[in-house]
A = this chain, B = another copy of it.
Amino acid sequence: MPDRPSSPRPADFRQRAAYATKAEAAVAGLLRTADLVRRASEGCLGAHGLSGQQYHVLRILRGAGTEGLPTLEIAERMIERTPGITRLVDTLERKKLASRERGTEDRRVVRCRITRTGLLVLAALEAPVVRAAGRAMRGLRPSETLRLMALLDRLRGALE
């Protein structure tokens, strides 16, 4: 549903309207909010020297269990698309939070796993991350949060 540019304004209205369409305003609001929420929710990672992306890779690897995951499958599960997945895992490997080994049957794939240390870091971060997410979402009641999630799901559904 393409919304129309908003109605004309008096000629002496100096500053032009911020956004010509509702869709533009919605996109801006979404990006603005996501930026704030990201900062609020990822701030607690700095204490352990992790970036948001590094943290998400660790979570994905934990979810994959002892079998680990091929490098590019991590990329597919990331919250934000990242072409730099190799270097991201490089960093985690340097920090001893993840390990890699080349597959035996298909020697193209590199299987990534979370280390014991990585699991400990995630465990230490669990409570702070949960608290931070709660704080980030504190503007909405639970029912509103659900409604928001449903709307976001629909939005994503149309884009994938």
Chain A residues in the interface with B (C-beta under 8 A): 1-3, 5, 14-16, 18, 20-41, 62-63, 65, 79-81, 126, 129-131, 133-134, 136-142, 144-149, 151-160
Q: Which chain B residues border A152 with CB–CB below 8 Å? A: 29-30, 32-33, 148
A1 & B79 in contact (Cβ 8 Å cutoff):
no
Contact at A2–B79, with CB atoms within 8 Å?
Answer: no
Complexed CA–CA distance, A160 and B37 (Å): 10
Bound CA span A26–B33, Å:
12
Residues of B within 8 A of A147 (CB): 147, 151
In the complex, what residues of B have CB within 8 A of residue A14's CB? 65
Cβ-defined contact, A80 with B155, below 8 A: no
Contact (Cβ within 8 A) B36 A34: no
A126 cross-chain contacts in B, Cβ below 8 A: 20
Contact B136 A80 (CB under 8 A): no
